[in-house]
Structures are given as C-alpha cells and as structure tokens.
Amino acid sequence: MRTYNKLMDGSRVLLGAHRGDRKHFPENTMGAFRATVEMGCDAIETDVRMTKDGHLVLIHDRDVKRTTNGEGFVDEMTLEEIRALDAGFWKGDEFIGTKIPTVEEFLELVSKTDLLVNWELKEYPKDLGLTRSFACVDKLVELIDRYGMAERSIMNSFSELLLEYVDDKWPHKFSIHGYIHYKNPKDFATKPLESFLDWAAIWNKDAENTAGFAADYGYAKERDVLTCILVADTEEEYKKALSMGCRMFTSDDPRRAIEVLKNLGER
C-alpha cells in the first residue's frame, strides 16, 4: 500500500459523504458540500465530468435529466448551458435555483479545510474516447495542483484505464481507488488493477452478505489494499463491514453515519 496522507493509511476509520450531504440537499451541489464541511466528515466523494467547451463540473450522470430541469449530455453542452440549469428544484422549493458547481468552486471551498476528496472520474473512454477522457483527467490534476490538494486527493473510477493512466503519468502522486471483482467494469487496465490500487470498494453483495463478502475483503488485505464500502447507515451494517476490515464508509446520510460511528467507538 502506498500512503500519501497519514489520514489515508488505514489507522483510523474514515467517513466520506457520497456526493455531499445528499440526504438533506441536492446531490453534488455547493449546499451539500458546505453541509459536509460543517458536520465534520473526513472526505467528500464527488463526480467529475467535462462540458463541451472543456470546463469541469460536478455531476454524477452523463444525462442531466435526473438532477436538473434539463436534458441532454453534459459533454454536449457548454458551461453556460450547464450553469443555466436548475439542479435543486427536485429536492424542494427551498433549493430552486441551485446550480451545478464547477470544480474550481468546489476547490475554493475544500482547499480551506482539511477534508480529503474522493474524485470519481466519470468521462469513460468507452463512451467518449481516450483523448477526451484523458484530457478531463489532465485538467482535473492541473486544478488540484493549483489549489495544493494532491496529497488530499483520491482518484476513483469504474474505468480501470483511467486509473492506470493516473498511476502511469503521476506515479505515487495520488491515492487510487478502484473496484475489485466488480462484474461490469467500464474497461480493463493493461496491468493488474490490484498492482496500483490503494483502496478497493467492496461492491459485490447479496441478501445474506449485505456488507459484502469476507472473501473480497480478504483478497484486498492479502494484496495490502485498504477497503471501503457504501452500506445502509445502521450500526448493524457498519459492524459487519468493520468486522471484515472496512476502513472507510461512503455515506448517503453522513449526519446519521457520524452518529453510528460514534456509537461504535470509531469517532
């Protein structure tokens, strides 16, 4: 395991807010991120995409329809078009007029804190081609460097090729987070994924193994890879994951997750 920040060495259990505090705010918006800062999480997980004119914005889906009042692909829209969308109305009247944030806006906020950032790279080569996908990563790294955030950044993707690109171009600069044993990866790296992973998400679950399979945790541990998971924010599920070696939770309800971790003596 390669360690870039003492907070990421597995010595303590970390809590990341999944797209910010998406339980109480529109996901991947500045309100959701500010709430996360205020409540005392360790990290924010967010999703990076690039507009038609080359600006980086934070939104999970390629199609804006689910979380805005528009429709169409982010990569086929300009920043001006993206910023004209309402990204909050669906969550409640009090959020009407909320905008999709740029990476710069987000970095202005988090760079003044001690939060880690789990950047999920969403510009998949299979959808948009290697050139554009790599360009998105390059621009993100440029901004991360501008704000002095490299040591607090985790690079995360379902694309093994993108993670391999990061590891090859910036060796030992970022912590890298991938998905071992994921049944439908977006693509495959040219070298073994586990050879450059620092974190692995435990993804496979079933009705009896709701916090993942012990074999997957064991597989990661044997390869000196730390494990993380997103599960229901209950003491029961957290206990299960902790007992198998989980060292980071990504939560859809971080306020509740903090209470769960406190009750379990992990906060």
Catalytic residues: 18, 60
Burial of 94 (0-12, 13-18, 19+ CB in 10 A): exposed
236-239 long-range Cβ contacts below 8 angstroms, 24+ apart: 237/210, 237/211, 238/211, 238/264, 239/264
List CB contacts of 263: < 8 A, sequence separation 6 or more. Answer: 235
Supply the angle between the helices 254-263 and 30-39 in degrees, to the nearest 10: 20
Residue 83: CB atoms within 10 Å: 16
The structure tokens 């620092």 sit at 198
Half-sphere exposure (Cβ direction) of 201: Cα atoms closer than 13 Å: 25
